[in-house]
Amino acid sequence: MNAHRPTEPAGSLLPSDPSSAEPARLLIVDDETRHMQALCDTLAGHGYEVVGHADAEAALIALTRGTFDVLLTDLVMPGKTGIEPLRAALEIDSQLVGVVMTGEGSIATAVEAMRSGATDYVLKPFRLAAILPVLARAVEIGRLRRENTRLHLSLERRADELEATNRELDAFARSVSHDLRTPLNALVGFSTLLDAQAGPALSPRHRGWLADMQLAAQRMTDLIDALMRLSHMGRRTLELTHVDVESLVHSVIAELLASSTGPVPHFTVGPMPRALADAPMLRQVFANLISNAAKFSLQQEPGHHATVLIGSERDDGAVVYFVSDDGPGFDSAEAGRLFEPFVRLKRTEKVEGHGLGLSIVQRVVQRHGGRVWAVSAPGQGATFRFSLSEAERR
């Protein structure tokens, strides 16, 4: 008799999982038929569904036809050891848990078997009190493996779905950008032509309307550009390098000063360590934060010496970069909303903007594995901090 499949006793429960509706399935391989049958009968009486074979090849065929939780195989069989069928079984089902049976004199072989993929071993002659805990652990390990595999596949599917969705959103953003720019360019072009040819003949009131039209068109153009930057930051491949953050910040400030036509705050830049980051994306982060800080620092009372402070600090071993302004500040309870697209707090109503700059900052920092947050209070300015990995010191 080469196979044994006893019926599970009514109402029996799996020792390792009493709440399980389905008993664990064991595949037993032992060339001593009498021992194999006795083991099958005993384990079936303890809530397992058991299939036994005295031939390793027959057991492997059974494994290709059904799923088992645990393979319990003898280490010493005619013409081969249990290690060979164990390896073959794991090639068929990598989630299978192998337990080997061995005598006292073959523990070294059992250790070799564990190096080949076995999870545990039991000694012959069997003691029920010893084998049941080993099987319970093996079943639990097997089910955790399968659950991890299912979760991994689910995450892969979800990642694929998100990637497809992002591609669709990116295509949609480009399409909308193109469709919006066409009439917008016409509006800008015709309003500019109208201003050039008929402007002097228009009344001051009508010239004001025309100026408002051109300003609205420029704001719309800026909004479209910001939307495209937000989309680009989400899909662009990170190219990490060791970035000289201090030099990058001075470059951003120099560019801001060169393009400014009005008053500017005083900038103070403290020492900052190099960062492991995508340089153009990090530049966008500092450009957005420094530009915001400059605008809000200038919102104080006349005569106030507006100041923007930029630097870094250590926090629990991490490097945190910060940009502080001495502007009107905001209620700390609203800090989380700042990073939502198009959200503008009450304090920002007098300052030009489109509500996407901080969303871009958050997206870039998160893609670098860091986080960004804001601290403020009404009348006490605001500080924006973000964490990044520090480049290795040379």
Cα–Cα distance measured from residue 139 to residue 377, given in angstroms and rounded to the nearest whole number: 56
pLDDT score, position 189: 87
Q: How far from the centroid of its chain's Cα atoms is residue 158's Cα?
A: 12
CATH superfamily of 3-155: Response regulator (3.40.50.2300)
Tens of pLDDT, residue by residue over 233-258, are 666 678 899 999 999 999 999 999 99
Q: Whole-structure pTM over 0.75, yes or no?
A: no
Which of the four CATH numbers 2.40.160.20, 3.40.50.150, 3.60.150.10, 3.30.565.10 does domain 237-394 have? 3.30.565.10
Indicate where the chain has its CATH 3.30.565.10 domain(s).
237-394
Rounded mean pLDDT for each run of 10 residues along the chain, 394 residues in total: 40 41 85 87 90 88 89 75 80 87 68 77 80 89 88 88 74 74 85 87 89 84 76 75 95 92 90 92 93 85 80 86 90 77 60 72 90 87 89 54
Indicate where the chain has its CATH 3.40.50.2300 domain(s).
3-155
pLDDT score, position 95: 86
Written as one string, the DSSP assignment of 209-235 is HHHHHHHHHHHHHHHHHHHHHHHHHHH
Cα–Cα distance measured from residue 77 to residue 100, given in angstroms and rounded to the nearest whole number: 12
pLDDT score, position 354: 60
pLDDT score, position 291: 92
pLDDT score, position 119: 81
